[in-house]
Amino acid sequence: MFDKDRTKTINLNEFQELWNFLGSWRQCFDRFDNDRSGQIDAGELGTALTQLGYRFSQHFVPVLMQKFDYSGKAQNLQFDGFVMALIKIQRLTTAFQPYDRARNGSATFTYEQFLATVIQNTI
């Protein structure tokens, strides 16, 4: 993400951007970690997603917990899982928007368009 010149390394300026990015995500994480456990549980993640402007069903948060709780327990997200989940949601949302012509959260994809969209926008 921060290798702007595509050298497969990051220079000092790119590192500074990465550091600032992670600092802003840490503030976000801390804001939603209500019990100050250092982890985000499913309820805190649901609140975070809603306050960040996403409207997902109650069935979606467990999907995120399963994928991004790197402890394998699907109960809490550490900071890194929280960041990865939100980056993935942001990237896929941005990729989805051109297909959601009515802006109602629905789109029609061919299977190939779906695969290309996901493959091009995964971390």
For residue 33, name the pLDDT band (cuts at 50, 70, 90). very high
How many domains is the chain built from? 1
Helices (H), the chain: 12-32, 42-51, 60-68, 79-96, 111-120
- DSSP code for 41: E
pLDDT tens for residues 66-111? 999 999 887 899 999 999 999 899 889 989 999 999 989 899 989 9
Domain that holds residue 66: 12-120
Of 122, 72, 68, the C-alpha closest to 94 is 122
Q: In which residue are the tokens 């709780």 written?
A: 69
Domain-embedded: residue 5: no
Domain-embedded: residue 4: no
Predicted TM-score (pTM) above 0.85: no
